[in-house]
Structure formats: structure tokens, C-alpha cells
Amino acid sequence: MQIAPQHLNNSTTAVQRITVLAIFATLLIATVLPLGYFLAVYYRELGAMEAEAKGDSFYVSALASENPRLWQYQQVRLQDVLDRRPHKGAMESRTVYAFDGKMVAESRDNLGPPLMRQTYPVLDAGRPVGTVEITRSLRPILLRTSFAALLSLTLGWVIFYLIRIMPIRSVQKAEAQSQRYARELEETNADLRAFIFGIAHDLRAPLVNLKGFSGELRSDLAGVMPELRLGLSALSEAERQRVAAVLEQAVPEALGYIDASASKLDSLVNAILQLSRIDFRELNLEEIDSEALVRVALQNFAGTIKEKNIRVTLGVLPYLIADRLVMEQSLTNLLDNACKYLEPGRAGLVSITAEQSKDAVIFSVKDNGRGIAADDIHKVFEIFRRVGQQDTPGEGMGLAFVKALVRRQGGNIWCESVLGEGTTFCLSLPVEGGRRS
Amino acid sequence: MANLEDVTILLVEDDPGHAQLIEKNLRRAGITNTIVKLDDGQKCVDFLFKKGEYSGDDHRPPFLILLDLNLPVLLGYQVLEAIKGDARTKAIPVVILTTTDNPQEISRCYELGCNAYMTKPVDYEQFSEAIRKLALFLAIAKVSEKKP
């Protein structure tokens, strides 16, 4: 769970990026499209108006060439030219101005503002003598443009939806689902832990009876033994031997087996309880000098180290925020294993090093011991499982315990080994102390 | 009329084996008091407050209660709560005698006012030793109770 925040951060930045991109694309579509449309239509309209003006100016120019002085007064003919409109043409006003700007003739439609104008000169032998002006209302173009803008906005929204909302929604959905799974998993895990803890506990009550009554039986038997021995003398030799065999051999032996099995079961139950108690324990995070901690831990093995002549080397070990108990127990356990499972007849070498990354410290405990076979390596962290030669005492509990401890603090443990050459156990712990939700 | 000297010990334990082992070891350690054995939490509460099947009884309150935690009907800590929450029974010493050594359970019992908490050791020698110590504690407690 400790990776969750980073993962969330990543998806937040991704969401932000996609949002910016989507907004940009949407704005682009919503502005460029109507603007482009407006400009295109506007210039086409101007072109069309220019063509009309040019046509009119052709006729007016002819009038001007015919009668350069009086053309301005030929109202009927001028009006005739201006009134001549294309079939189903646009609403427009056509005006002819003299060279001095005085209006000469006009054909007027009713136009609403804003207006657009286009002029074309009236020529007499190549000399401008007036202008023809065509005026149209911008309203139809603006109306069409606003319609286009509306369409663009719709299109922009669709695009925004497609690249921002839809993918994010599915990402969020997937995220919510994985969070739900994680929660369910955690609940199941908690249930399972409580269940195991309960079972281990309940196993204790019958064990008290098993051990208690076998003890009672033994002491009762010992108590009446003198009387029994006295009574035996009344029996025949053969009978006496049979009874003696039961009383002095079979019964103590049976009690011994019952006792030993109960003890074994008790130690298993205790191991399970110890293991599951890790999960109920609160972490006490503090700053820890791991080098000092390792040196203290090594003192526990001073005898073994001297006796087996093991060479121990320490790398630079950092300060970190961690739970002291987690660190002590896990490192002590790894050191214990390293010193315990050395190859007989080879000078022992054990090294403890640490590597620090941005958010984790990885401790390595390396030995040149007997190693672990590749087939067995995945079993080393299993509870009650012991691999390799069973010539050293142990419950098969240590590494399962270490793993539970380390994971409790949000860390991890793994192992690399070559049979006959040595083993390296690596233990990673978060620098700032692990948290578990 | 009940004998004033007859101070009883109340043993609340649902496992008959455990009850017998506890009794045997108490006897061996020289405790001669009457031991009243009850096998569920409700019976214990009924006995103390003379309710249910014990209504109309005229027994004296026990001198000490040995209480298991995992009991049928009423759990041990519920019984403890009832005992320590009532002025009539509040003063009776309660020793929790159970297989649980869960720290949370222990602190909850002390919060509820138990006078001592003992874990039943699985190992027989340790078990006997623990009961022997309890008997010793009883002897001292009895002397101090008789004084006034």
C-alpha cells in the first residue's frame, strides 16, 4: 500500500496534462473554426460585391464616356442600371457617386447595421470620374457565423468529452475498482489474521489439559509406586514382569510421547501467535543508527564468531527512521542464520552492507556459507519450513517472522543464494519509516 | 446459618479439565477453602447477585473469584465488568486466570478493575508453580482480611 501515494500522484499529473490538452483543443476548435468561417464568407461576399460593382461601373462608365459632362444627370438611365439586380440576389444598396463625392443616383434596400461596403471606380477614358458603391448588411454573415460557432462549440465539447472526460472516467473507475479490491483484500487479510490468532489461542486450552493431566498421571503414579512395588511381590515372576513392564516402561514412555507432542504443538502455537501478534503491534518509529544497532547485535554472536573464526565486515550503515524492534529482530535473525549455516571447513566470511536510495535503505547480509538450493529458495520464508541439512537446531520460524516484521514496516525481504557458495539476504526498509494503511 | 469461617473461592472456568487442575494444585498448596465451580459467565453473575437459579440462596459472597476469560453465555470481561460495576461485589478480589496472553486483553482487564491477571502456562510444572504462587497470595490476603 505504500506505493499508493506515488501512483496517485502520477495519475494526478496525467489528469492535469490531459485536462490542459483537452481545454486547449476545445478552445482552438471553438475559436478558430467560426473565425475562419467568418473570414472566408466575408471575403467571398466582398468578392461578389466587387463583381457586382464592377458590372454596374461598366455601364455607368459607358454613360460617362458617352456624355462626360452630363452623365450625372441621366437619372433614368443610371437608376435603370442600379435597379438591374441578379435574380434572387442579396439585399443591398447600390449608389453612384460623382468624383467630388456627391451622390448621383441610388437604389436602396432596407439594410440593418452593421454594413459592409465595396466600391469600384467609374472611368471615362481611363480617368476616374466617380464610384459605384455596393453596401450589404453583415447580418446574414454574422448569423451564419454564430450558427457555425454554435456547431464548433458542440464539436469542441464532443472533443473535450472524448479526450478528457471519457478516458479519465474510465481511469477513475479502474482506480476505484482497484482500491475496492485492495480494501477487500485487506479486510480478508485482517479476518484471516484474526481467525488464525483465534485458532492458535483456542488450541492452548486443550494443551493445558494434555500437559496437565499427563503431569498429574506421572506424579500420581510416582506417588503410589512404593505401594505398587510392595503389591508386586505377591505376584508370580511372570506376572510381576508384565506389570513392571507396563508401569515402569510403557506408561512412562506413553506419557513421554504425549508430553513431547503437546510441547511441540505448544511451540508451534506460540510461533503462530508470535507471528500474528506482529500485525497487531503498533510501530514505534524513531531515528536509528543502524551501524550501532548491528554492532550490538553482533555481540550476541561474539562466542560463535570467535569459536568458528568468522571474519565479519561492516560497510557504511546509515541512519534511518524505523521501528527499533523490527530492525533489531530482523538483522539479528539474518546474522544468526549467516553464522549458523556456514560451510564446515571453510573460513567464515560475513559482511553487512547497506545501500541507500531516495526512499529506501537496502541492507545486505552476505555469507560464504553452505548456500541454498535453487529449488528450495522460495521456501525459506515459509513458516515452519527448514531447508537443506537439518543439523542445526531451530523452529523454522525465524525468517517467516522476519518477513512479517519487515512487511509490517512497509519493507521487503528477499534472498539470493548459490548452493555451496553462500547466501545473501537483502532487506529493504523505507527511509522515513513505513506506514501501513 | 452459614459458618463464618467457611470462606469460599469462586472458580469460573468452562473447561472441566482446567478447573480440576486448578483445584488439585490449590489443594496441594494447602488451600482448604470450599471451591465453588461454575462453568459459564451467566451462572457467575447469577451466583453473585443471587438471581436466576440462585435466587433465595443465602450463601456469603465469595472471598475471591478466579475468572476465566473465554466463557460461554457471558464472556469473562463482561462478568468482570458486572462485578466491578456493582457496589455489592466491587470489593471482591478478581484474579483473571486464562490462556490468553494478548497484551490488549490484559490491559482491558486491568482497565475494568481486575486485581491480578495470570496466564495459564501450558507447561505443567509452570502451571503448578503459578497456582502455588496464587495460593501463597491467597494465604496472605486471607490473613490481612481477618485482621480487622
Q: What percent of chain A has pLDDT over 70?
A: 93
What is the rounded average pLDDT for all residues in chain B?
84
Closest by Cα among B138, B139, B89 to B113: B89
Identify the pLDDT of residue B103: 82
pLDDT at position A393, please?
53
**Residue-wise pLDDT tens digits, A104-124:** 888 888 888 889 999 999 888
Cell of A98: 460623382
B21 vs chain A: nearest CA distance in angstroms?
7
Is residue A248 very low, low, confident or very high in pLDDT (cuts 50, 70, 90)?
A: confident
Q: Which of A201, A209, A215 sits opposite B15 (nearest CB)?
A: A209
ipTM: 0.81
pLDDT at residue A8, rounded to an integer:
52
Taking each helix axis as running N to C, give the angle between helix A4-66 and helix A166-232, from 0 to 180 degrees, rounded to the nearest 10.
Answer: 170
Domains and CATH numbers, chain B: 9-143 (3.40.50.2300)
| Structure-block grid coordinates of residue B88 | 455489592
| Model pLDDT for residues A57-116, shown as the tens digit of each residue | 888 888 888 888 888 888 888 888 888 888 777 888 899 998 888 888 888 888 888 899
Question: Nearest-CA residue of chain A relative to B102?
Answer: A277
Q: Tell me: the pLDDT tens digits for B74-130?
A: 888 899 999 999 988 888 889 998 888 888 889 999 999 998 898 888 888 888 888
Q: What are phi and psi of A130, to 5 degrees?
A: 180, -175
Sequence length of chain B is: 148
Q: What is the pTM of this model?
A: 0.59
Residue B1: pLDDT band (50, 70, 90) is very low
The predicted structure's pLDDT at residue A3: 38
User: Is the pLDDT reported for residue B146 higher than 70?
Assistant: no
Number of H helices, E strands in chain B: 5, 5
A-B contacts (CB, under 8 Å): 51
Enumerate the residues of chain A whose CB falls inside 8 A of the CB of residue B105: none
Predicted confidence at residue B4, as pLDDT, reads 43
> Rounded to whole angstroms, how far apart are CA atoms A386 and A383?
9
- Whole-number pLDDT of residue A81: 85
Instruction: Indicate yes or no: CB of B122 within 8 angstroms of CB of A201.
Output: no
- Residue A285: pLDDT above 60? yes
Which residues of A fall within a CB distance of 8 Å from B18? 205, 208-209, 212
More confident residue, A135 or A12: A135
pLDDT-based confidence at residue A150 (cuts at 50, 70, 90): very high
pLDDT of residue A391: 56
Q: What per-residue confidence (pLDDT) applies to A434?
A: 53
Contacts of B90 by beta carbon, 8 Å cutoff, 6+ apart: B83, B84, B113
Residues B21, A214: C-beta atoms closer than 8 Å: no
